[in-house]
Amino acid sequence: MKANSISETTDVLFYFQGLHAVNDIATNKYPPAAVADHLTSYGGMLTDSSQMSVLKFIAGGAYDTTLHQR
């Protein structure tokens, strides 16, 4: 796969990304226990960040995400 993100994909069990924002998260289907993170410096900041919050993955259907302490 040569893309910066995935979209309209079923059964996404793991989704780890390095961009400051990830598009099309909600177009994917995440099974129970799916884990997603975008692995950026500020990804663990739930609010008030110039980068996407990990909460967007949860809102998009992922069941878990990792939080990195800065």
pLDDT tens-digit series, residues 9-49: 999 999 888 888 888 999 999 998 888 887 877 767 778 88
Taking phi first (over 0 means left), then psi (-120 to 50 degrees means alpha), and beta for anything else, what does residue 53 get? beta
| Average pLDDT score over residue span 52-59 | 83
Copy the structure tokens of residue 61. Answer: 């259907």
The pLDDT confidence band at residue 59, using thresholds 50, 70 and 90, is confident
Supply the pLDDT for residue 33. 84
Strand partners, 36: 15
Supply the pLDDT for residue 1. 67
